[in-house]
Amino acid sequence: MRFMAHLTFIPEPIIPSLIPAEQARVAELAAAGAIQALFLAANNSAGWLVMVGESQQTVEHALNSLPLHPYMHVTLTELSPYDPLASTKTST
């Protein structure tokens, strides 16, 4: 199953000191295939992750393992594939 995780961060003074550990854990999850893409807002106030797991609980468990998890609000949305060019393709 594929999910979009929308993260908003709660500003706390401890966050900068947790960034290296957060980056390391994100790299581990990406190497394991749990994170397929990550985007951050230019001002670092929010993030979006495309995540893959056997279930929503699996994805939530991965998110809970992030060092910054206590300082973020997370909204998970299950995704379904969509080909935006499918309606423009013609069969021959």
pTM for this model (two decimals): 0.84
Q: Under DSSP, is residue 84 helix (H, G, I), strand (E, B) or coil?
A: coil
Tens of pLDDT along the chain (92 residues)?
Answer: 999 999 999 999 999 999 999 999 999 999 999 999 999 999 988 999 999 999 999 999 999 999 999 999 999 999 998 888 887 766 55
Q: What is the DSSP string of 62-79?
A: HHHTSTTGGGEEEEEEEE
For the domain made up of 2-80, the CATH class stated in words is alpha beta
User: Cβ distance 16 to 69 under 8 Å?
Assistant: no
Number of neighbours of residue 34 by Cβ within 10 angstroms? 19
Please state the domain extents for the chain.
2-80
What Cα–Cα distance (Å) separates residue 75 from each residue in 7, 68, 78, 81?
Answer: 7, 15, 10, 19
